[in-house]
Amino acid sequence: MVTAAFGGEDEARLIAALDADGDTVVSLVAVEADEIVGHILLSGLAAPFPSLALAPLAVRPDHQRRAVGSALVRAAIQAGQVAGARAIFVLGDPDYYGRFGFGAAQARGFSSPYAGPHLMVLPLGGPLPVPTGRIDHAPAFAALV
């Protein structure tokens, strides 16, 4: 399903590596008629405060634009709060993730190999504890750079 959603193996390998390394914190699936049609993953992220990285989000091509991804993002945000994270960082489309409250402006103060207009953060439970610092994704992400 992930390979079909992305048209390649990179994200499926990322999921497998995050799982194998013990870096997966939350892994959720969307199911329809006993088939997995979507998946989202939150992994540990080294940051100045408890944080998670959202990636990847995958929806089977024949189920895209049917709110499956939105439901998964909302569920992941809630799961991140339950896990005690103060923020979730994502690298993605600002128009898409902006709908959920993710913003690039607040992420600009954080150094990362992924820094730029597509690195966004969503504070959970109040403002970010600090506006700057370094964030480091789990080692499995380095294979995608």
What is d(CA 107, CA 91) in angstroms, rounded to the nearest whole number? 10
Q: Whole-prediction pTM value?
A: 0.94
Which pLDDT tens digits describe the chain residue by residue (145 residues)? 898 888 889 999 999 999 999 999 999 999 999 999 999 999 999 999 999 999 999 999 988 988 999 999 999 999 999 999 999 999 999 999 999 999 999 999 999 999 999 999 999 999 999 999 999 999 999 887 5
**C-alpha triplet 95, 101, 106: angle, nearest 5°:** 95
Q: Are 65 and 74 in contact (CB under 8 A)?
A: no
